[in-house]
């Protein structure tokens, strides 16, 4: 095989002196000869490609990552493709075009043929172009998902044109291969791979929008043409055991798929809108959930307070916060901590999201007289030690829950309030007397989930003084305080955030605080007393995470003001 340098000189792309200088630099400069010559602007990419094509005797391909179909790129496992610097770029008539840095690598060609079943036609391409194509091809959150959907829709259109009505039964029988089935599966598995919590399918004109909620934020992923959305929604309803003929009233269901060897459950909700049926699916990945109190993200200070609360033999503990703040995870973690052979633990939930071994879980059902309040009354006859009520939302549930706490049971529940102190006012608004609140309530835990700064693009930044003032008033940040942000990169999809972390505000009902509650003291007085006794506000807890370099000032302000 001719040497690359000799080919470049013979073709007149470089001089012998330039080649000698580049070869001499290989010991000190990173990269192979072609990369060194490109960095020195001695040759163009096309000239290097032509020389490589001659050297290996195969065509050169100048890869445009956006033009490589991600579904084709995924024909070879990502680990193998990156390790061997190759990427499939086309298929047809039983053959696969494989772009390679070293197209004479017989082992890679043989392994690719074994994996894919195609006859490999090697092409030569540059390393950075191959890696860029792999980056795009294996991007589960956005580009790959969109391209996969486009392929499925193309299949669907072709199938609709070619399949005669007489063959409809055959198509139904072969349901697992139907394009719509594969499309829905792609949406579900894409959500799992993206680590999202919810999938939203929203009917709009001219296309249905699909969004994933990742790290608490909705991100657009793909669009589905209107003529296909009914088939997609119908398929989801079939999987969730819902009524496919009913599209004028809301429905709830549940479906399960197996991905990566583990079962993932989805809670499905549909609601009619002016544009069609909107579908929201909540991921309930029981295999990846670890309900461990020590893994929640509680600091030593907060963990000690929670442990003291749940060690009490009876009384009420409430977890507060808006939707999506992690209340359910906290509740399940507390139940897992309390779960023991010597305790009878009973829950009433709407719906039961996760199954806990050893815990008796009841699904709330208003249609059959088993709403939270009624279910709680029946549970009281079941000799419970610990009771968990999914949410206290009305007078009857509130009064029954407080009565249970006052009669020797440890009761856990959630409330929708902005902070821990607000739990007192909320219970009072629901008609519970102050003296009963003071006697029953052990404490309340308010929480939020903040987005974490992406570690790949984390950098120092200057704080926003207006936001600081709004959060902390006249308090001045420490002299050595450092503020960080995420610049935005491929890993975090340009958001600057990756993952989430919790912050907590924990109010413990002390005798002094209990007296104030019983007297009907206003929230401001209750907060003053709680602060004197060690309460750390959500704002202070958020600023602690900012100073630790884990999140941003903007994120704390956004989560606490919304």
Q: pLDDT in tens for each of the 562 residues of the chain? A: 788 888 999 989 888 988 888 888 876 766 688 888 887 888 888 899 899 999 999 999 988 887 787 778 888 888 899 999 999 998 887 889 999 999 999 999 999 988 888 899 999 999 889 988 888 777 654 444 554 455 555 555 565 555 445 444 444 444 444 678 878 888 888 888 778 889 999 998 888 999 998 888 888 888 888 888 898 999 999 999 999 999 889 999 999 988 766 788 999 999 999 989 999 999 987 655 668 888 888 889 999 999 999 999 999 999 999 888 889 889 999 999 999 999 999 999 988 888 888 999 998 887 777 888 899 999 999 999 999 999 999 999 999 999 999 999 999 999 989 999 999 999 999 999 999 999 999 999 999 999 999 998 999 999 888 889 988 888 888 888 999 999 887 677 778 888 899 999 999 999 999 999 999 999 999 999 999 999 999 999 999 999 999 999 999 998 888 6
Sign of CA dihedral 242, 256, 187, 182: negative
Q: Which domain holds residue 94?
A: 4-138
On whether residue 427 sits in a domain, the answer given is yes
Report which secondary-structure segment, H or E, holds 523: helix 523-532
Q: What is the Cα–Cα distance from 3 to 92, expressed in whole angstroms?
A: 32
Domain boundary among 86, 114, 138: 138
Is residue 167 one of the residues assigned to a domain? no
CATH of the domain at 19: 3.30.300.160
Total domain count, the chain: 3
Whether residues 267 and 319 fall in one domain: no
Residues 278 and 305 in one domain: no
Residue 27 lies in a domain: yes
Q: Are 488 and 496 in contact (CB under 8 A)?
A: yes
Asked whether residue 95 falls in the same domain as residue 193, the answer is: no
Is 470 a domain residue? no
Please report whether residue 457 resides in a domain. no
Q: Distance between CA 146 and CA 169 in Å, rounded?
A: 30
Measured CA to CA, the distance from residue 159 to residue 178 in angstroms comes to 9
In residues, how long is the chain?
562
Q: Is residue 149 part of a domain?
A: no
Q: Are residues 374 and 508 in the same domain?
A: yes
Q: Are residues 276 and 333 in the same domain?
A: no
Beta carbons within 8 Å of 181's beta carbon, 6+ residues apart: 175, 235
60 and 20 share one domain: yes
Residues 49 and 187 in one domain: no
| Cα atoms in the 13 Å half-sphere on the side-chain side of 540 | 11
Q: Based on the domain organization, do 361 and 404 belong to the same domain?
A: yes
CATH number at residue 204: 3.30.450.90
Residues 313 and 279 grouped into a single domain: no
Instruction: Judge whether 475 lies within some domain.
Output: no
Residue 435 lies in a domain: yes
Interacting residues of 424 by C-beta distance below 8 A, sequence separation 6+? 437, 441, 444, 517, 523, 526
DSSP at 495: S
Q: Are residues 250 and 280 both part of a single domain?
A: yes
Bridge pairing between strands 483-486 and 458-461: antiparallel
Cα four-point dihedral sign 110, 111, 115, 116: negative
Which three-class secondary structure state does DSSP give residue 118? coil
Q: Give yes or no: residues 423 and 395 share one domain.
A: yes
In angstroms, the CA 406 to CA 528 distance is 26
Query: Do residues 373 and 518 share a domain?
Result: yes
| Encoded tokens for 68 | 């490589």
């Amino acid at each position: 095989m001719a040497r690359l340098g000799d080919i470049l000189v013979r073709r007149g792309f470089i001089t012998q002196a330039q080649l000698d200088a580049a070869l001499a630099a290989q010991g000190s400069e990173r990269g192979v000869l072609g990369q060194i010559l490109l960095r020195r602007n001695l040759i163009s990419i096309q000239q290097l490609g032509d020389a490589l094509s001659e050297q290996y005797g195969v065509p050169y391909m100048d890869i445009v990552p956006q033009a490589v179909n991600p579904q084709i790129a995924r024909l070879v496992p990502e680990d193998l493709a990156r390790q061997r610097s190759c990427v499939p770029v086309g298929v047809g008539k039983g053959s696969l075009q494989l772009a390679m840095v070293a197209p004479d690598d017989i082992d890679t060609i043989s392994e690719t043929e074994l994996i894919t079943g195609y006859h490999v036609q090697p092409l030569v391409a540059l390393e950075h172009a191959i890696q860029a194509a792999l980056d795009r091809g294996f991007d589960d959150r956005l580009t790959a998902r969109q391209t996969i959907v486009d392929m499925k829709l193309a299949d669907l259109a072709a199938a609709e044109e070619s399949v005669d009505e007489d063959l409809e039964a055959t198509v139904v029988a072969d349901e697992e291969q139907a394009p719509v089935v594969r499309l829905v599966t792609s949406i579900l598995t894409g959500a799992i791979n993206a680590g999202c919590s919810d999938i939203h399918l929203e009917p709009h004109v001219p296309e249905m929008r699909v969004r994933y909620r990742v790290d608490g934020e909705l991100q657009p992923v793909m669009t589905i043409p209107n003529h296909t959305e009914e088939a997609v929604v119908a398929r989801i309803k079939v999987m969730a055991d819902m009524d496919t003929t009913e599209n004028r009233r809301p429905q709830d269901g549940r479906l399960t798929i197996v991905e990566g060897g583990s079962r993932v459950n989805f809670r499905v909700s549909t609601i009619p809108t002016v544009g069609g049926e909107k579908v929201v699916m909540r991921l309930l990945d029981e295999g990846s959930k670890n309900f461990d109190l020590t893994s929640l993200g509680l600091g030593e200070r907060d963990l000690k307070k929670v442990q003291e609360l749940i060690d009490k033999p009876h009384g009420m503990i409430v977890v507060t916060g808006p939707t999506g703040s992690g209340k359910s995870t906290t509740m399940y973690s507390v139940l897992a901590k309390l779960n023991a052979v010597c305790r009878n633990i009973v829950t009433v939930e709407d719906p039961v999201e996760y199954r806990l071994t050893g815990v008796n879980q009841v699904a709330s059902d208003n249609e059959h007289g088993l709403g939270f309040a009624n279910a709680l009354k029946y549970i009281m006859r079941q000799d419970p030690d610990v009771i968990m009520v999914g949410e206290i939302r009305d007078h009857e549930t509130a009064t029954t829950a407080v009565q249970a706490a006052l009669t020797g049971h440890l009761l856990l529940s959630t409330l929708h309030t902005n902070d821990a102190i607000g739990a007192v006012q909320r219970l009072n608004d629901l008609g519970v007397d102050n003296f009963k609140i003071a006697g029953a309530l052990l404490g309340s835990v308010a929480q939020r989930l903040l987005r974490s700064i992406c570690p790949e693009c984390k950098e120092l930044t200057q704080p926003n003084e207006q936001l600081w003032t709004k959060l902390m008033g006249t308090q001045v940040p420490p002299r050595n305080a450092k503020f960080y942000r995420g610049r935005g990169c491929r890993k975090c999809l340009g958001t600057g955030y990756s993952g989430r972390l919790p912050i907590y505000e924990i109010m413990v009902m002390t005798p002094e605080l209990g007296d104030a509650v019983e007297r009907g003291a206003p929230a401001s007085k209750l907060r003053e007393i709680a602060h004197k006794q060690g309460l750390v506000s959500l704002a202070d807890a958020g600023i602690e995470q900012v100073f630790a370099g884990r999140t941003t000032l903007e994120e704390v302000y956004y989560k606490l003001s919304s």
